[in-house]
Chains A and B, each alone.
Chain A
């Protein structure tokens, strides 16, 4: 992780589960591949110029490969760090962001798990403050890690509570 978005010295990021990438890649394959195949087949059957059909197929495949790679990069970009007074969260490979939420400012801690995420054994933990713009969500945690994190955060939040 480079420069301004790096973890503080001597405090490495806690990383998220690689299952997150597996889930997203599965989604990509389940949705993306059929779309590319169907579009190519339809173009071929409609007797569009062969050049165009091939070009579309190539673009589709390139997009799939790019998606596959960027999912990996995105996974590597996630990181969180519990410090003494605040939680640091970073993510984003292209659009990088780093959020610092003081424990005393946390209003509530959400643990979210949709059906797809659950089937991959993943949940995400989201911190809410009184500000709607606070963007502190940690995706791709395993349920045990998530519930431990939630409990620690809730405890710390109570200990540091300072109202608004």
Chain B
């Protein structure tokens, strides 16, 4: 609400701006395919040099070349017909050669603005700006590609427009919050591999050894193949995680939280204040020896994008620190001080061992639920972000006099529930949660991010 009194002159409406994509975009867009085509071409050239059948190679060359040219032409046309207009608090994208398309994004609905640099774009010094809005489908707009400086200033501009500020605002100053040391990242990724899935790794060696002993050559062969295959999977997975989370840095600015990471492809993500719907602190089993934990979040509009990376908030840190960080993000809540209760003993009939680990509780600001016997997860939902509250009970639960309370949040990694409560307590919890959420919404539904500690 901009209530401008007569003595407060209205800030100048942001000027309109129109711009296009960077001319190198087609190369970056087709990066992978073009690269593959070049490699294929080289192979067929090498083949033709090696000997016979030159005619066939001319045909294949023509096909590869044609495909590459078509790809580039498509990209060129796309760049030529796409225009972006910034008009006040609105971003409009006009595209399409024959069928014109116009898409508008109201920037005050933006949930986050990211600058991404996939490897192909990075080679050409280009970057993508991605605006995510709240919505269930097609909720993000991708401007690709722009040159990196343009992308960065556009991000600052979009963010300031999203708050109704002046245009051309310089990048807001930022303060470092936390960054993940490289050594700790590598160790944490390796340790995260330690889980029951490791047992699968034993299948290969077991087959190989027993096959060799008993003289079953085929079984031994399959075993060795399994070892190689699993090894390859594990190594690529480790590599993917490390390169994605490399140099993970979180900073804080008036625009919101800024998250930066990546080794080859880099990503800079900005989450405006108050857009985090729910948070979880997760400890894979092996991390608990070291007291490490990671933090993930629900941000409206994120999860539909299928890449789980954008829901990461902090890949690894000390548990105490993650608790403090989350408390600060939620405006000064002491997560550890929230009293947690476990289900009644009779819940053991439904959740044999892990009933002890199903803790939940709430205070005036947040609801906290902790679960997991080996790997441990703590879900935290601020009351003002609760979407709806549910109480469920199946036949077995009802026979035991138990019920489960669910808190619904936007799509994301955080799924909060207080499982297997005593029925009367569960209903009381539901009613209290409804009441607290109502009061929290009245208080303020856009809490400001307070400066760090």
- Which residues from chain A sit less than 8 Å from chain B, CB to CB? 3-5, 8, 85-86, 94-102, 104-105, 129-136, 162-164
Contact = CB atoms under 8 A, between A and B. Distances in A.
A95 B431 CA distance: 20
B441 A162 contact: yes
Interface stretch (B74-82, B163-171, B388-396): B388-396
A96 B398 contact: yes
B100 to A, nearest CB: 28
B424 A100 contact: no
Given A8-B431, A164-B385, 4 more contacts: A97-B392, A129-B387, A162-B445, A164-B134
A86 B406 CA distance: 16
Name the residue in A86, A98, A99, A130 with the highest tally of chain B Cβ atoms < 10 Å from its Cβ.
Answer: A130
Given A134-B408, A162-B441, A4 B134 contact: no
Contacts of B277: 130, 164
Contacts of A135: 390
Contacts of A132: 136, 410-411
A153 to B, nearest CB: 13
A99 B391 CA distance: 6
B392 A95 contact: yes
B423 interface: yes
A130 B300 contact: yes
Contacts of B410: 130-132, 164
A49 B249 CA distance: 74
B28 interface: no
Contact of A163 (B424, B426, B445): B445
B397 to A, nearest CB: 9
A96 B396 CA distance: 11
Interface string B398-424: 100001001011110001000000011
Contact of B388 (A5, A8, A99, A162): A99
Main secondary structure of the interface of B (DSSP, over half): mixed
Contacts of B389: 99-100
Nearest to A3: B423
B391 A3 contact: no
Q: Which of A8, A96, A99, A100 has the most CB atoms of chain B within a 10 A radius of its CB?
A: A100
B447 to A, nearest CB: 12
B120 interface: no
Nearest to A88: B434
Contacts of B385: 164
B388 A98 contact: no
Contacts of B424: 3-4
Contacts of B391: 4-5, 96-99
Contact of A99 (B390, B395, B411, B427): B390
B438 interface: yes
A105 B407 CA distance: 13
A97 B387 contact: no
B394 A94 contact: yes
A3 B426 CA distance: 11
A3 B441 contact: no
B61 interface: no
A130 B135 CA distance: 8
A133 B390 CA distance: 10
